[in-house]
Amino acid sequence: MHSNTHHTERAHPEKPLLQMKNIHKSFSGVKVLDGVCFDLKKGEIHVLAGENGAGKTTLVKILSGAHTDHSGDVYLDGALVRFVSPSHAAKYGISAIYQERSLVNSMSVRDNIFLGKEKTDLLGRMNFKQENDLARHVLQQLGLDIDISRPLSSYPLSVKQMIEIAKALVNESKIIIMDEPTSALNTMETSHLFEIINELKKNGHGIVFISHRLEEIYNIADRITVLRDGKYIGTSVPDRLSSKNLVKWMVGRELKEQFPSRTPFSKKKSSVILSVRDLSLNNKSISFDLYSGEILGIAGLQGSGKSLILHSLFGTFGKPDLGHMSLDHREHMVKSPAKSIQNGIALLTNDRKNNGLVFDMSVKENITLASLSKFLKWGWIQKKKEDFVVSRMFESFHIKAKSMEQTVSTLSGGNQQKVLLAKWLMTNPKVLFLDEPTIGIDVAAKHEIYKLMNQWRDQGLGQILITSELPELLALSDRILVLHRGRLSALYEQHEATQEKILRSAMGQCN
Ligand SMILES: Nc1ncnc2c1ncn2[C@@H]1O[C@H](COP(=O)(O)OP(=O)(O)O)[C@@H](O)[C@H]1O
Ligand SMILES: [Mg+2]
């Protein structure tokens, strides 16, 4: 076993529900799991933790029958099994809920729940009555009051996730795998999910819960197993593993400080790069300035209009109703995203999948996607110049990929986010809008993105940052604008801002 391996759990007499022993797996010759062990007991929530790319998803995909070309053994209730497909694993009572959902939007909630295992009578006819009753029963168990005949598309993501769990319950799964289920949920939805997970646990299900968020891990875990670079690092009960050590297990070193240090910002030494006057948003208007070399944070509750501001300025909705803007001392007309990019505005959104990355193209192609004109000469792409510039980006962003030719879909979330940032930086922006730039990525990748943001700040780029993580907002922003229902309710300098003040302003109270 690995010399770095830690064991701090007590011996447990009963036979585990699941044991995975010495699992190895490679993708086209590259080893991504290297002798990993994992076990799960009945009625246990076992958190699988590790940075992006550690191998967590790959491990559970072996367990759920999605990957079959591994070596090593899997035991269920002490008996050796070898799954050949996800439906095979499902027959043994294993269900997995992945980040990419397996549901079909155009189908009804009921049909989604029974997808692939429709209830039929002896003649093979669908038994809708039985399906309806079972679906209602299961959804009730989950505290979900929805119309099961409506298409799935009419429900928000948090509900879709519950429907995936309903699917697992209908399947009478003993083991339920959840791969980063909270990455797109807000605080309330997350706590609802946690209630349900605890309920499943009480009913004797074994839960494999994947996460890299520390608060979450300590909130829910009975045991924690950490993977790093495809290797098994250790297993512990949370009480015996401090968060400091957990980070050390995950990252392989101590992170001295969460946020990199930097020089204070001085308005006096800078000038306004973007000036916004009377921008109209939902019948309200807003004015503010962004300085070059400044990171301006925008805070506000869900629905306060944070993202709306950035999208309006970027031209996502075309020309705004009212207001004017100047960019780099020139009158700037908002027209369309393409025009904005040309004029030096870049917008990074929190939706990598639908906004920004072309998943089946290479890292290189994605990076140059928005700035191809830079490499054109007489209508030809200058390959050498392109390679040179991209490889410099590739290195300075520390993108973890075999080469610039690797397909973006095979990178981890943190590295995809870096590719997206590189793509926007390639357009040479004067101002950069960042909407939740670190959502869903691990501690170390976050740290690197913070460092890059500080670097660009020192080079004079103006940045507007939206993040729902207040510590991040406080540490990175030079000034913080707070919105309440589409109105500016406060503006703080970094040194005077606190979490409490921001929350109060966001709720519309005076400080
Ligand atoms: N289909 C694939 N083809 C090639 N490499 C892959 C594929 N899926 C995952 N990988 C690689 O395997 C490693 C582990 O990935 P993954 O299991 O998704 O990690 P995690 O879930 O811990 O973030 C990463 O380096 C990733 O790039
Ligand atoms: Mg994963």
The CATH number of the domain holding residue 69 is 3.40.50.300
pLDDT of residue 7: 53
**For residue 103, is it within any domain?**
no
- In this structure, the answer to whether residues 332 and 289 fall within a common structural domain is yes
Are 437 and 421 spatial neighbours (Cβ–Cβ below 8 Å)? yes
- In this structure, the answer to whether residues 452 and 422 fall within a common structural domain is no
Are 433 and 310 spatial neighbours (Cβ–Cβ below 8 Å)? yes
Q: How far is the CA of 412 from the centre of ligand 2 (A)?
A: 7
Long-range contact pairs involving 469-473 (C-beta distance under 8 Å, separation at least 24): 469/438, 470/299, 470/499, 470/502, 470/503, 471/258, 471/499, 472/259, 472/438, 472/446, 473/297, 473/299, 473/502
**For residue 354, is it within any domain?**
no
**Contact 32 CB / ligand 1 (< 6 Å):** yes
**For residue 266, is it within any domain?**
no
- In this structure, the answer to whether residues 22 and 131 fall within a common structural domain is no
Q: How far is the CA of 335 from the centre of ligand 2 (A)?
A: 38
- With vertex at residue 133, the alpha carbon angle to CA 131 and CA 138, rounded to the nearest 5 degrees, is 95
Domain extent at residue 113: 108-172
Of 428, 443, 462, which one is at a domain's C-terminal end?
Answer: 428
- With vertex at residue 125, the alpha carbon angle to CA 122 and CA 127, rounded to the nearest 5 degrees, is 95
| Residue 433 CA neighbour count, 13 Å, CB half | 23
Contacts for 478 with CB less than 8 Å, ≥ 6 apart: 265, 291, 294, 295, 296, 493, 494
**Count of residues making up the chain:** 511
User: Is the model's pLDDT at 415 over the cut of 50?
Assistant: yes
Q: How far is the CA of 135 from the centre of ligand 2 (A)?
A: 29
Give pTM, 2 decimals: 0.63
- In this structure, the answer to whether residues 73 and 193 fall within a common structural domain is yes
**For residue 204, is it within any domain?**
yes
pLDDT digits (tens, 9 = 90+) for 350-408: 766 666 788 889 999 999 888 877 777 777 777 888 888 888 888 888 888 889 999 99
> For residues 454 and 308, what is the distance between their CA atoms, to the nearest angstrom?
25
What's the average model confidence in pLDDT over 338-355?
A: 82
**For residue 72, is it within any domain?**
yes
- In this structure, the answer to whether residues 46 and 115 fall within a common structural domain is no
Q: How far is the CA of 60 from the centre of ligand 2 (A)?
A: 9
Which ligand does the CA of 99 lie closest to? 2
pLDDT digits (tens, 9 = 90+) for 299-312: 987 778 888 899 99
Q: How far is the CA of 58 from the centre of ligand 1 (A)?
A: 6
Q: Which of 30, 31, 57 to mutate to test the pocket of ligand 1 (most atoms within 8 A of CB)?
A: 57
3-state secondary structure of 303: coil
**For residue 100, is it within any domain?**
no
User: Is the model's pLDDT at 8 over the cut of 80?
Assistant: no
Write the residue with the smallest CA distance to atom 1 of ligand 1: 410
User: Is the model's pLDDT at 470 over the cut of 60?
Assistant: yes
Work out the mean pLDDT of the chain and round it to a whole number: 86
> For residues 68 and 180, what is the distance between their CA atoms, to the nearest angstrom?
22
pLDDT of residue 388: 87
User: Is the model's pLDDT at 501 over the cut of 90?
Assistant: no
How many domains does one find in the chain?
Answer: 4
**For residue 166, is it within any domain?**
yes
> For residues 233 and 151, what is the distance between their CA atoms, to the nearest angstrom?
43
- In this structure, the answer to whether residues 5 and 89 fall within a common structural domain is yes
Of 205, 228, 254, which one is at a domain's C-terminal end?
Answer: 254
- In this structure, the answer to whether residues 148 and 42 fall within a common structural domain is no
What are the beta bridge partners of residue 24? 34, 71
Q: What letter would DSSP give residue 258? A: S
Query: In 10 A of CB 122, how many CB atoms?
Result: 5
- In this structure, the answer to whether residues 189 and 289 fall within a common structural domain is no
Which atom of ligand 1 is least distant from the CA of 210? 21
Lowest mean pLDDT among 9-13, 175-179, 343-347, 364-368: 9-13
**Contact 181 CB / ligand 1 (< 6 Å):** no
Lowest mean pLDDT among 184-193, 209-218, 292-301, 415-424: 184-193
Are 461 and 428 spatial neighbours (Cβ–Cβ below 8 Å)? no
Distances (CA, A) of 230 to 60, 226, 233: 13, 10, 9
pLDDT digits (tens, 9 = 90+) for 43-60: 999 999 988 778 999 999
- In this structure, the answer to whether residues 6 and 84 fall within a common structural domain is yes
- In this structure, the answer to whether residues 4 and 63 fall within a common structural domain is yes
**For residue 263, is it within any domain?**
no
Of 392, 411, 428, which one is at a domain's C-terminal end?
Answer: 428
- In this structure, the answer to whether residues 77 and 219 fall within a common structural domain is yes
- In this structure, the answer to whether residues 177 and 300 fall within a common structural domain is no
Are 473 and 387 spatial neighbours (Cβ–Cβ below 8 Å)? no
Which atom of ligand 1 is least distant from the CA of 413? 23
